[in-house]
Amino acid sequence: MFSNAITQRSWLQRIGKSGGWVTLVIWLLLTVFAVAMVYPFLWLVFGSFKTSSDILAQPIQLLPREWTLSGFRLIWNQSGLPRAYVNSMVVSGLIVFSTLLTSSLGGYVFARLQFPGRQLLFYFILSTTMVPFVTLLIPLYIVMLDLGLLNTYAALWIPAGVSSFGIFLCRQFIIGIPQELYEAAKVDGASDFRIYMEIILPLIRPVLSALAIFSFLGSFNSYLWPLVVLNDENLYTLPLILVQVSTTMGVTNYQGVMAGSLLASIPTLLVYVIFQRNFVKGIALSGIKG
Amino acid sequence: MSAISIRKVQSARSRSHAARNVSTMGVVVALFLIAYYALVFIVPFYRAIWLSFQNWDFIVDPIYVGMRNYDHVIHDDYFWQAAKVTLVFSVAEISIALICAFGVALGIHQLPHVLQRFYLGLFYIPVVVPGIVSILLWRWLYLPGDGVINGVLSRFGLPVQPFLNSTSQALWCIIAMVVWANLGGAAIIFFAGINEISIDLLEAAKLDGAGLWRQTINIIIPLLRPIFFYQVVVSVIGTVQMFEQFYLLSGPGFSTRTLAVYTYELGFKTLNLGYGATVSIFIFLFLLAATVIQVQRFMTKQS
Q: What would the pLDDT profile of B233-244 be if each residue is shown by its tens digit?
A: 989 999 999 999
- C-alpha to C-alpha distance for B89 and B233, rounded to whole angstroms: 15
User: What mean pLDDT comes out for the span B104-133?
Assistant: 90
Among A179-193, B11-25, B201-215, B263-277, which stretch is predicted with the lowest mean pLDDT?
B11-25
> For residue B293, what are the contacts with CB-CB under 8 A and spacing of at least 6?
none
CB contact under 8 A, B21 and A30: no
Alpha-carbon torsion A208, A213, A215, A216, what sign? positive
Q: Do the Cβ atoms of B264 and B244 come closer than 8 Å? A: no
Nearest residue of A to residue B143, measured between CA atoms: A56
User: From the list B29, B43, B152, which residue is nearest A143 (CB)?
Assistant: B43
A224–chain B Cβ distance below 8 A for any pair: yes
Residues of A whose CB is below 8 A from B139: 246
User: Domain extents for chain A?
Assistant: 5-74, 80-289
CB contact under 8 A, A16 and B248: no
The CA dihedral of B168, B173, B175, B180, to the nearest 10 degrees, is 160
- C-alpha to C-alpha distance for A130 and B176, rounded to whole angstroms: 27
The percent of residues in chain B predicted with pLDDT above 90, rounded, is: 57
- C-alpha to C-alpha distance for A155 and A103, rounded to whole angstroms: 20
User: From the list B32, B41, B151, which residue is nearest A60 (CB)?
Assistant: B151
Q: Do the Cβ atoms of A110 and A171 come closer than 8 Å? A: yes
- C-alpha to C-alpha distance for A275 and A269, rounded to whole angstroms: 10
User: What mean pLDDT comes out for the span B24-38?
Assistant: 96
- 3-state class of A114 per DSSP? strand
User: From the list A38, A115, A141, which residue is nearest B30 (CB)?
Assistant: A115
pLDDT at A278: 63
Burial of B252 (0-12, 13-18, 19+ CB in 10 A): middle
User: What mean pLDDT comes out for the span B240-262?
Assistant: 93
- C-alpha to C-alpha distance for B227 and A287, rounded to whole angstroms: 7
- C-alpha to C-alpha distance for B172 and B302, rounded to whole angstroms: 34
Q: CA dist B92 to A134, A137, A265, B133, B175, Å? A: 21, 26, 28, 23, 7
Calculate how close chain B gets to A229, using CA atoms only, in Å: 11
CB contact under 8 A, B111 and A23: yes
**pTM of the entire predicted model:** 0.87
- C-alpha to C-alpha distance for B224 and A62, rounded to whole angstroms: 39
- C-alpha to C-alpha distance for A54 and A254, rounded to whole angstroms: 10
B244–chain A Cβ distance below 8 A for any pair: yes
Q: CA dist A105 to A112, A119, A174, A231, B89, Å? A: 11, 16, 11, 34, 38
Residue B101: pLDDT over 60: yes
Q: Which of residues 69-98 of A touch B (CB under 8 A)?
A: none
User: From the list A115, A264, A284, which residue is nearest B130 (CB)?
Assistant: A264
Of 1.10.3720.10, 1.10.240.10, 1.10.10.10, 2.40.10.500, which CATH number belongs to A80-289?
1.10.3720.10
Q: Which of B52, B136, B237 to mutate to test the interface with A (most CBs of A within 10 A)?
A: B136
CB contact under 8 A, B203 and A14: yes
Calculate how close chain A gets to B9, using CA atoms only, in Å: 21
pLDDT at B156: 86
Each of the 290 residues of chain A gets a pLDDT tens digit; together they read: 444 444 445 544 544 444 577 788 888 999 999 999 999 999 999 989 988 888 877 777 888 888 989 889 988 988 889 999 999 999 999 999 999 999 999 999 999 999 999 999 999 999 998 899 999 999 999 999 999 999 999 999 999 999 999 999 999 989 988 888 888 888 888 899 999 999 999 988 888 988 888 899 899 999 999 999 999 999 999 999 999 988 887 666 788 889 999 999 999 888 878 776 665 666 555 554 33
Alpha-carbon torsion A147, A133, A228, A85, what sign? positive
B20 falls in which pLDDT band (50, 70, 90)? low
Predicted confidence (pLDDT) per residue in B140-197, tens digit: 889 887 788 888 888 888 888 889 988 889 999 999 999 999 999 899 889 988 988 8
Residue B283: pLDDT over 80: yes
Class of domain B69-302: mainly alpha
CB contact under 8 A, A37 and B125: yes
Among A207-211, B166-170, B205-209, B264-268, which stretch is predicted with the lowest mean pLDDT?
B205-209
> Which residue spans within A18-93 are E strands per DSSP?
none
- C-alpha to C-alpha distance for A275 and A283, rounded to whole angstroms: 12
Calculate how close chain A gets to B298, using CA atoms only, in Å: 15
B99–chain A Cβ distance below 8 A for any pair: no
pLDDT at A289: 39
Report DSSP state, residue B55: E
| Angle, alpha carbons B6-B11-B12 (nearest 5°) | 95
pLDDT: which is higher, B11 or B93? B93
User: From the list A1, A58, A116, which residue is nearest B146 (CB)?
Assistant: A58
> For residue B81, what are the contacts with CB-CB under 8 A and spacing of at least 6?
B254, B257
